[in-house]
Amino acid sequence: MADALISTASIEFSENWLVESDAMVGARARAQELGCVPIGPAGGAALRLLAAAGNARTVVELGTGTGVSGLWLLGGMAPDGVLTSVDVEPEHQRAAREAFADEGIAANRFRLINGSAGEVLPRLTDGAYDLVFVDADKAGYPTYLAQAIRLLRPGGIVAFDNVLWSDKVADPSVRDADTVVLRDLGRAVRADERLIPAMLPVGDGLIAAVIRR
């Protein structure tokens, strides 16, 4: 018999179990002002855990936002690790730079690239990265999966945010374009024998997968 589903109260408790830093709170406030939706605290904590477990030194982030997820990633990366973050919105990256400064992150620990992921990723080096995190345009997720597998070393980790998409992915009657892409992404990750995957029900859903060694 399956365990009982977790209650809404327990989900809310777990989502806010870890207290975010002042820099993260400020980054969330700027995200609201700019109209972008950052990863939640529980999802951010999962990213930090993945980065720390993999002793990540080289990380690619697609979708800088205002720096919330970047702060979580940097918090788990090796002290000499470098985050490469890509976003099409220069205003978002200016806000992220402010968040990193507020957190006391040295300027040589991050590289912000303004541009579309589809144009930037092919210029990055094969097998040179420990972790790739994707929180960008949903239509591009299949392409970003293929690029992430190319970019990651054996044992590296790829993670995708919003994979439950406000409960739409689990409802087969919902067939809008973004939902279908996310549903197909889940199937592709699950079926790819190069990957060891898991779906984490934190925030709006996080798929993480390790490249087999």
Q: What are the pLDDT digits (tens) for 56-101?
A: 999 999 999 999 999 999 999 999 999 999 999 999 999 999 999 9
The reported pLDDT for the residue numbered 1 is: 42
Going edge to edge, which strands form the sheet with 129-134?
A: 110-114, 82-87, 58-62, 129-134, 152-161, 206-211, 195-200
**Strand locations in 8-73, DSSP E?**
58-62
Tell me, what DSSP letter sits at residue 123? G
Residue 13 — very low, low, confident or very high, per pLDDT cuts 50/70/90? Answer: very high
47 compared with 1, residue with greater pLDDT: 47
Asked whether residue 85 is domain-assigned, the answer is yes
**Strand locations in the chain, DSSP E?**
58-62, 82-87, 110-114, 129-134, 152-161, 195-200, 206-211
> How far, in Å, CA of 30 to CA of 68, rounded?
10
Query: In the Cβ-directed half-sphere of 3, how many Cα atoms lie within 13 Å?
Result: 3
Crossing angle between the packed helical segments 68-76 and 22-34, to the nearest 10 degrees: 150
State the total domains in the chain.
Answer: 1
User: Would the pLDDT of 20 be above 80?
Assistant: yes
Looking at the DSSP bridge assignments, the partners of residue 199 are 207
Structural domain range at position 112: 8-211
Q: Looking at residue 46, which CATH number applies to its domain?
A: 3.40.50.150
Asked whether residue 109 is domain-assigned, the answer is yes
Q: What is the pTM of this model?
A: 0.96
> How far, in Å, CA of 49 to CA of 181, rounded?
27
Asked whether residue 153 is domain-assigned, the answer is yes
> How far, in Å, CA of 161 to CA of 176, rounded?
18
> How far, in Å, CA of 22 to CA of 68, rounded?
11
Asked whether residue 38 is domain-assigned, the answer is yes
Using H for helix, E for strand and C for coil, what is the string for 135-146?
Answer: CCCHHHHHHHHH
Asked whether residue 2 is domain-assigned, the answer is no
Asked whether residue 137 is domain-assigned, the answer is yes
Asked whether residue 1 is domain-assigned, the answer is no
The reported pLDDT for the residue numbered 199 is: 98
Residue 5 — very low, low, confident or very high, per pLDDT cuts 50/70/90? Answer: confident
Asked whether residue 42 is domain-assigned, the answer is yes
